Amino acid sequence: MATGSASRTIGILSPGDMGAAIGRMLADAGYEVATVLAGRSALTRTRAEEAGIRDAGTIDDLVREADTLLSVLVPSEAVSIANEAAAAMARTGAKPVFADCNAIAPQTVRAIAATIGGAGATFIDAGIIGAPPKLGGNTRIHCSGADTSALESLAEAGLNILVVGPEVGQASGLKMIYAASTKGTTALWTELLVAARALGLGDALLVEFGGSRKQIADDLTGVIPSMPRRARRWVGEMEEIAKTFDDLGMTPSIMQGAAELFRFVGETSLADQTSREPDPSLDAVLGTLAERLHDTR
C-alpha cells in the first residue's frame, strides 16, 4: 500500500476494459475504488468485482464518497456522464475533482469543463495513450488543466501520469493527434490494401513496397490484424479527431473517412472477435473485407 493513499476514494465511471484496469491498480495500491453498477451487464459486474471495485449504489452516493471521479468511457458517453455527475454534485453539495479521461476533441472537453466548473468542482483534462494499464506497463495518462494535482497523486499507485500543460484541451488534443497517427494511418492502409486485394493487385503492390518502403509497410500493416475487434469502438474516436481538426480550420474529411472505414469493418464478423481469441492473419482480414465489397456492390 502506498503511503498516504489509504484515505483516498476514487470513483470510476465506468469499469470497462480501461476503467477496470485503472481501478484494479488503484485498489491494489490501497485506494478505495467505487462505481455505479445499477443497470450494468453481468460482465461489467464481474469485471468490477475482480478488480476490487465496489458498487456505491447511485451516482449521488458515488459523488458524495469520492475524492476524485475518473470518467473513462466510449467517446459518445462522455458528455452525458459529465452532465449526470454535475447534476449529482448540485443535488448533494459534494464537489469531487472530475477528471475526463476520454478520447474526445478539445472543444468537447472544454464544454465538459464548463459544466463541471459550473457545478463548483475542479476539472482535469486527461488522455490515455496505450493499452489498459498494469504495473510496469507502458500506458501513459496525460493530463492538463489549472490544477492537476489530484490526478498526479495517483502516480503512487504505479500509473504513469504526465502533465502536458496548464490548459484544458491540451491532454485531449495530444490524445487526438496521437490516435490520428496510429489509428488514422491504420484506416488508410487498411483501405488501400483492401483495394489492392479487390483489384487483384496485392502481389504487385508488395513488389512495389519491396524496396525502400518494405520496413514501413511491414510496420503499418502489422497492426491491422488486431484492428477489427476494436473497430466499432474506434468509430466515435475518429469522429472526435475529425472535430479536432475541423475546429483548427483543417479538413475533417480524412478522419471522417477513417470513421467510415472502421464502421465498414465493424459491420463484418471480424469485429465480433474478442481479445481472448488469437487475431486473424492479415491475409484473412483483407480477404474478408474484400469479399464484403463484392457482397455490397
Give the footprint of a second copy on this chain (CB under 8 A). Answer: 106, 129, 138, 140, 142, 164-165, 169-170, 173-174, 176-178, 180-182, 184-185, 187-189, 191-192, 194-196, 198-201, 204-205, 208-209, 211, 213, 215-217, 219-220, 244-245, 248-258, 260-261, 264, 293, 296-297
Residue 85 or 112: which CB sits closer to a second copy?
112
Residue 140 or 233: which CB sits closer to a second copy?
140
The minimum distance between CB 23 and a second copy, in angstroms, equals 25
Indicate the SS3 state at residue 179: helix
The minimum distance between CB 49 and a second copy, in angstroms, equals 34
Q: Mention every residue, 6+ apart, whose C-beta is less than 8 A from residue 297.
A: none
The minimum distance between CB 236 and a second copy, in angstroms, equals 16
Residue 58 or 253: which CB sits closer to a second copy?
253
The minimum distance between CB 122 and a second copy, in angstroms, equals 22
The minimum distance between CB 207 and a second copy, in angstroms, equals 8
Residue 277 or 295: which CB sits closer to a second copy?
295
State the Rg of the chain over Cα. Answer: 21
CB 68 within 8 A of CB 149: no
DSSP E strand stretches across 17-170: 32-35, 54-55, 68-71, 97-100, 123-129, 140-144, 160-165
Q: What angle do CA 252, 254, 257 make, to 5 degrees?
A: 105
Indicate the SS3 state at residue 149: helix
Residue 252 or 280: which CB sits closer to a second copy?
252
CA 184/CA 8 separation, integer angstroms: 38
